[in-house]
Amino acid sequence: MSEPLLQVKGLKKYFPITGGVFGKKVGEVKAVDDVTFTVYKGETLGIVGESGCGKSTTGRMLLRLIEPTAGSIVFEGKEVTTLPKAELRKMRRDMQMIFQDPFASLNPRHTVEKILEEPLIVHGIGSKEERKKRVREMLEVVGLGQYHAKRYPHQFSGGQRQRIGIARALMTNPKLIIADEPVSALDVSIQAQVLNLLEDLQKEFGLTYIFIAHDLGVVRHISDRVGVMYLGRLVELADSDQLYQSPKHPYTQALLSAVPIPDPEYKRERQLLSGDLPNPANPPQGCAFHTRCSACMDICKQKRPEMKEVEKGHYVACHLY
């Protein structure tokens, strides 16, 4: 394994709930609750889980687009959470994000050229001519033409807009890209094109990805390792093949049993989860999953399970192990 690029320890984000006439704090939503993982240079770490489990909040905290409540984020040996604004701006050259919604993440009043040039202007990179040249190069890298530079976002399809979003993320030559559900708003055929593009760019530029998604098929296709989140907590982390072949956590098993297999003859036993996702403002005591788990024991209701390595490189937070 190569050296670590990003190390996250005990990351938390609690959003306050206010109520009453004076808007006093009456509680908090534990969107991310004690998440720890490491990302190595050149790899793709997939983060999966159902809607509302805290995946996107985690991704945004890594760039400090959302300020963490607690925890440590170390990027290339520097603590991100305590960096002053000027230092943080410099570091953002090396950490970029591809947003989920290609419609909302591009400024409708700017041409594509201006959208792509903006990161270079912000970071003071290159002369005007060099910036224009870089924009033209980047459009071709992501499979668009130079003539697209003068158009506005509304003149493109969803897949083309996402390519513009990818080009914008690549403008500053970053080392780490956080892709927040970059293909969930696209048609299946376009999804495949964008995923292949991301893989090609990774080889070409030596990129490291954190790939956030809820589609397990997509994550398996692109990820080296996969982390599974449930209600703000990481419940399992393993190599992609290892996780898909022998999932340990009951939640991961249920998720994988729901993935459709393109074979009408093949019958697989579905593991249906009972109940709904608990309220993150009032999560269950002990293991957060115990209210929906078929293997629930008494200890699950009282004690929160720690992340343990049950096989080489395979970590799981469950009292069954």
| 95-137 pLDDT, tens digit each | 999 888 878 888 999 999 999 999 899 888 888 899 999 899 8
**In this model, does residue 263 exceed pLDDT 70?**
no
Clarify whether residues 191 and 78 are in a common domain: yes
Using alpha carbons only, how large is the chain's radius of gyration in Å? 21
Helix residue ranges per DSSP H, 63-187: 85-91, 112-122, 128-141, 158-170
The contacts of residue 87 (CB under 8 Å, 6+ apart) are 78
Comparing 268 with 176, which gets the higher pLDDT?
A: 176
Q: Quote the pLDDT of residue 266.
A: 66
Is the distance from CB of 42 to CB of 18 less than 8 angstroms? no
Write down the pTM of the prediction: 0.87
Clarify whether residues 46 and 74 are in a common domain: yes
Would you say residue 20 lies in a domain? yes
Clarify whether residues 14 and 137 are in a common domain: no
Clarify whether residues 143 and 155 are in a common domain: yes
**In this model, does residue 22 exceed pLDDT 70?**
yes
Comparing 196 with 261, which gets the higher pLDDT?
A: 196
Clarify whether residues 140 and 214 are in a common domain: no
Q: Quote the pLDDT of residue 155.
A: 92
Q: Quote the pLDDT of residue 117.
A: 92
> Exposed, middle or buried by CB within 10 Å (0-12, 13-18, 19+), for 55?
buried
Would you say residue 321 lies in a domain? no
> Exposed, middle or buried by CB within 10 Å (0-12, 13-18, 19+), for 128?
exposed
Sign of CA dihedral 165, 169, 173, 176: negative
Clarify whether residues 191 and 265 are in a common domain: yes
Please state, rounded to an integer, the average pLDDT across all residues of the chain. 86
| CATH number, domain containing residue 74 | 3.40.50.300
pLDDT in tens, 27-72: 888 888 889 999 999 899 999 988 888 889 999 999 999 999 999 9
Would you say residue 219 lies in a domain? yes
Q: Quote the pLDDT of residue 39.
A: 93
Q: Quote the pLDDT of residue 150.
A: 92
**In this model, does residue 158 exceed pLDDT 70?**
yes
Clarify whether residues 253 and 208 are in a common domain: yes
Domain containing 145 equals 106-171
Q: Quote the pLDDT of residue 34.
A: 87
pLDDT interval class at 285 (50, 70, 90)? confident
Distances in whole angstroms, Cα of residue 190 to Cα of each of 20, 98, 184, 193: 48, 16, 10, 5
Sign of CA dihedral 122, 125, 75, 33: positive
Clarify whether residues 62 and 121 are in a common domain: no
Would you say residue 194 lies in a domain? yes
Share of residues in the chain with pLDDT > 70 (%): 94
**In this model, does residue 255 exceed pLDDT 90?**
no
**What is the β-pairing status of strands 70-75 and 4-19?**
antiparallel
Last residue of a domain, one of 171, 194, 224: 171
Would you say residue 73 lies in a domain? yes
Please list the residues that pair with 179 across neighbouring strands.
Answer: 98, 211
State the number of CA atoms in the 13 A half-sphere of 138 facing the CB.
25
> Exposed, middle or buried by CB within 10 Å (0-12, 13-18, 19+), for 3?
exposed
Worst-scoring range by mean pLDDT, 8-12, 268-272, 299-303, 313-317?
Answer: 268-272
Is the distance from CB of 191 to CB of 218 less than 8 angstroms? yes
At CA 124, angle to CA 123 and CA 128, rounded to 5?
Answer: 130
**In this model, does residue 24 exceed pLDDT 80?**
yes
* Distance in angstroms (rounded) separating the CA atoms of residues 165 and 214: 20
Clarify whether residues 49 and 191 are in a common domain: yes
How does DSSP classify residue 147? G
Clarify whether residues 40 and 146 are in a common domain: no
Clarify whether residues 139 and 64 are in a common domain: no
Clarify whether residues 211 and 242 are in a common domain: yes
Domain count, the chain: 2
